[in-house]
Chain A
């Protein structure tokens, strides 16, 4: 390894790499935020919707979860440009990640709500709570706690999947690194560096998730 060359090149490319990293953060945070909002609605529909809605959402989630993210990204990218809709690579990629995230969050929420014993709803009803009150005061707080670890896991999956946007030309962190490699030929060093950065990013998310989990844990 040419460690000194690597450090020199790393320093020289710092602006581009940081810009790429910022894109990665933007893509991931945006997709997770939008995907979670959408996913919560999907999960609600899966749990409490009428039959036709449940069937439609079941097809939606199973289809999205059965398709590789990479295929979703390529499909969003090519299909929207072919259909004449003005989505650039960045938007198409974010859309794909958002849809992917929503299908996972929807399924997680459904599972979490399903795991709450029926007695909880009955007890809430028996003190006169309406369905809406039961949901917000009794079911949702329990479901969200139950979902948190899996949701954090989904968030790290999205960060990892954001690398796939490099293939459709979004200069996120991986593509920024590849551009540096094509100038410097230091593929070993820079790929290792990229791996390390993603590791740190995901590790930080996991630790943050654990900290939140501890904070909101129900004492027992």
Chain B
């Protein structure tokens, strides 16, 4: 195949790509932060003594995890306004991705909680801590450190999911890549650069999270 590579057109638009990447990272960061809280609540819900709470949490987690994220994005953006919940593109996407993150992280936390030795809670009780303090000072910190690798994987795949914001015209990296593609016709270059930016960002995030894991891990 003789194809004249010409990356100049793509580089001319580097500011758009950078802007898109930044927006993607921002969307991921906010959604993950909300998702972490949501996920923790759902995880405790799934392990709760109250049947109703268990049922609600389980439904939330299974429903979200088994639905394609694109359907959720479209639902939140196009259908929720019919129920009077109208949001702009970006808040709507953050809302969707947070819900999504929450369900995935809930599953991670739940398995982390189940894997904790029962002795941890009993030791807490033995030194006179209340249930709430046991959760706050023993259960959550230990569980968090154990599930960090699994969380990292989820963070990376949530960042990749920000590419879907392009489907509702949120101007992130994939959106701009399509735009440059259409305007410049430098198809191969555009998509090569776009994927490389994603891969690079994923590698960077992974490296950052690994350092965090090493920092937080319990010495043994």
Contact = CB atoms under 8 A, between A and B. Distances in A.
Please say whether the chains A and B touch (CB closer than 8 A).
yes
4 nearest CB pairs, A to B = A66-B199, A75-B191, A82-B187, A68-B163
B213 interface: no
A26 interface: no
Contact of B63 (A78, A82, A181, A199): A199
Name the prevailing secondary structure of the A interface residues. Answer: helix
Name the prevailing secondary structure of the B interface residues. Answer: helix
Interface string A181-220: 1000001100110110011001100100000000000000
Interface stretch (A118-126, A136-144, A162-170): A162-170
B79 A203 contact: no
Contacts of A83: 1, 3, 187-188
Given A70-B166, A160-B68, A206-B66, 19 more contacts: A67-B160, A67-B195, A68-B161, A68-B174, A71-B194, A71-B195, A79-B191, A81-B187, A161-B68, A163-B71, A174-B68, A178-B74, A187-B78, A188-B82, A191-B71, A191-B79, A192-B79, A194-B71, A199-B66
Nearest to B74: A191
Interface stretch (B11-19, B35-43, B114-122, B177-185): B177-185
Contacts, number: 112
A-side interface size class: 35 or more
A156 interface: yes
B198 A202 contact: no
Residue of B162, B164, B191 with highest tally of chain A CB at under 10 A:
B191
A21 B62 CA distance: 21
